[in-house]
Amino acid sequence: MKKVTVLTLSTLLLALCLPVSAQQPGKIPWIGYLAATGSGPSPAFLQGLRDLGYVEGKNIAIVFRTAEGKSERNADLAAEIVGLTVDVIVTDNTAAALALKKATGTIPIVMTTSTDSVGSGLIASFARPGGNVTGLTSVAGEIGGKHLELLKEIVPRLNRVAILRAEGRANDLFIKETELPAQALKIELLSFVFGGPDEFEGTFRAMTKERVNGLLVRLGSRGSSGYDKRVAELAAKSRLPSISYATSWADAGGLMSYGADFNISDRRAATYVDKVLKGTKPVDLPVEAPMKFQMTINLKTAKQIDVTIPPNVLARVDRVIK
């Protein structure tokens, strides 16, 4: 029997009391939530639901599944959630959204974030998504140039930058869209595919051998597949100034992050769920781009790798970790 992760005691009790066949729309709406990592839905998403009047166990129920950083689990988990006949499904990454769309063409799917949602076939367009998928996009694949500019401001001699990435279409797109700004900044890009934890040290040794002096981190939709702290430690040990679009990267010890504020996106996703539960079809809900970008710098890491953050960069920072 597969291991099932359920969000809260209230949801567990409901799941135990109701057979799968009874988990139908009517008495209380059910939300399925498929995440890349973590032990429960985003706190910001849950707060967004509360702000809209949804009280878990009273007028809403949530069933949670996590791939635990293993994207190959998405297909089975998607089928599992669809089999529970939930009213709407929320997901926080592109790979899971694709698995869910393959598993169902009828249950509405709300993305809290996504990369290349049109190119990957998740939606037809931002204005008219088509099908059963809607939500928000991170446009993370389009900000590689901005990341390079920020690193170049901090490290003027930057000329060889490693991209540590997970495999997948989204990161292929990221590299493609980052090539032109890299050429304009006279920076050579070198791609390193993210492997398991046993490969980390070897990967960083290869970066050192290639004489890279900067690092773009693309490990997953929320910063990593659960290994960001270890990777940040190796980046610091290699004295590599690094940047990611996920704020969790700077929190884990990376030098810098710049990207969409996921808390805002997660709260917005709750409004999509509310509209779907009230009868709006996903095809009539345009996909939104991020409303706010956030920059974070870890000054402890800057000191550790002997990098000075210029005043003009610090003046633009939203959050500083000291």
For the chain, domains (ranges, CATH) are 9-139+261-284 (3.40.50.2300), 141-259+293-321 (3.40.50.2300)
Confidence at residue 195, expressed as pLDDT on a 0 to 100 scale: 75
Q: Is the pLDDT of residue 252 over 90?
A: yes
109-111 and 88-91: which strand pairing?
Answer: parallel
Confidence at residue 290, expressed as pLDDT on a 0 to 100 scale: 86
Q: What are phi and psi of 126, to 5 degrees?
A: -65, -40
CB atoms within 10 A of CB 196: 9
Query: Contact at 8 Å (CB) between 84 and 30?
Result: yes
Return the percentage of the chain with pLDDT > 70, whole number. 89
Rounded CA gap, 186 and 180, in Å? 10
Q: How far is CA 69 from CA 80, 136, 198, 202, in A?
A: 17, 21, 15, 20
Q: Is the pLDDT of residue 260 over 70?
A: yes
The residue-averaged pLDDT of 2-10 equals 42
Rounded CA gap, 180 and 196, in Å? 30
Closest CA to 308 of 147, 146, 155, 158: 155
pLDDT digits (tens, 9 = 90+) for 279-316: 999 999 999 998 789 999 999 999 999 999 999 999 99
Q: Is the pLDDT of residue 204 over 80?
A: yes
End-to-end Cα separation, the chain, in angstroms: 46
Q: Is the pLDDT of residue 157 over 50?
A: yes
Average pLDDT, the chain: 88
64 token code pair: 């949670």
The residue-averaged pLDDT of 211-225 equals 77
At 140, the pLDDT band (50, 70, 90 cuts) reads low
The residue-averaged pLDDT of 232-238 equals 96
Q: Is the pLDDT of residue 122 over 90?
A: yes
Rounded CA gap, 273 and 107, in Å? 12
Q: How far is CA 285 from CA 12, 46, 88, 273, in A?
A: 31, 20, 14, 11
What string of H, E and C letters represents the secondary structure of 156-178?
CCCCEEEEEECCCHHHHHHHHHH
Return the percentage of the chain with pLDDT > 90, whole number. 69
pLDDT digits (tens, 9 = 90+) for 59-109: 999 999 999 878 899 999 999 999 999 999 999 989 899 999 999 999 999
Confidence at residue 226, expressed as pLDDT on a 0 to 100 scale: 65
pLDDT digits (tens, 9 = 90+) for 164-196: 987 777 778 889 889 999 999 999 999 999 877
Confidence at residue 231, expressed as pLDDT on a 0 to 100 scale: 94
The residue-averaged pLDDT of 265-276 equals 97
Q: Is the pLDDT of residue 7 over 70?
A: no
CB atoms within 10 A of CB 4: 12
Rounded CA gap, 135 and 118, in Å? 12
Given 3-state DSSP classes, what are the helix, strand and coil percentages for the chain, each rounded to the nearest 5? 40, 20, 40
Confidence at residue 139, expressed as pLDDT on a 0 to 100 scale: 73
Residue written as token pair 């970790």? 321
At 223, the pLDDT band (50, 70, 90 cuts) reads very low
Say how many residues make up the chain: 322
Which of 3-12, 25-34, 221-230 has the weakest average pLDDT? 3-12
pTM for this entry: 0.80
129 token code pair: 């998504």
Rounded CA gap, 220 and 3, in Å? 23
Rounded CA gap, 116 and 122, in Å? 9
